[in-house]
């Protein structure tokens, strides 16, 4: 006889929308969750610019936003879910819904020179380096004994 106690069964709490699909004599429970996903993102730099490439296929103008604040680049949007047929899906890897990616910028950016374009499912952003990051030497005055 085992001295181990069996763990209590955990019930799945279905507080989110769900539906059943019956196909081929099998029943599938599909739970819809709403979460923010992060698209694949590349960040590269050369001596003058930072390049950001985000893979977000299937987007239209106005479905995403690019914002720069301090030393943070934020890309966010919503990729709409296409109409789906009622069938049993065997593999679902494409993300839909809200997405967001935040990138910490390694140096100050010339915000007036930012260029962003969307083509062939990729968002391309060029962020030129600002000259504000130059080091300024501060002269130190010598104090005299009378001060």
pLDDT tens digits, residue range 89-110?
Answer: 888 888 988 999 999 999 899 9
Q: What is the CATH number of domain 34-80+89-133?
A: 2.60.40.790
Task: Please report the pLDDT score of residue 89 as a whole number.
Answer: 81
Quick one: pLDDT band at residue 118, thresholds 50, 70, 90? Answer: very high
Q: How far is CA 79 from CA 36, 100, 121, in A?
A: 11, 11, 12
Length of the chain: 147
Looking at the whole model, is its pTM more than 0.85?
no
- 7, 20 Cβ separation under 8 angstroms: no
């Amino acid at each position: 006889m085992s001295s181990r106690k069996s763990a209590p069964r955990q019930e799945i709490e279905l507080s989110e929308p769900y539906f059943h699909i019956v196909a081929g004599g099998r029943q599938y429970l599909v739970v819809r969750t709403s979460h923010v996903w992060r698209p694949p993102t590349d960040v590269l730099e050369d001596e003058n610019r930072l390049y950001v490439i985000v893979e977000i296929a299937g987007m239209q103008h106005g479905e995403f936003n690019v914002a720069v604040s301090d030393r943070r680049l934020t890309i966010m949007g919503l990729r709409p879910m296409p109409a789906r047929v009622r069938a049993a899906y065997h593999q679902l890897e494409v993300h839909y819904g809200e997405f967001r990616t935040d990138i910490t910028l390694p140096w100050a950016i010339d915000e007036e020179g930012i260029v962003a374009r969307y083509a062939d499912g990729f968002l391309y952003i060029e962020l030129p380096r600002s000259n504000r990051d130059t080091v300024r030497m501060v002269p130190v005055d010598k104090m005299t004994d009378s001060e």
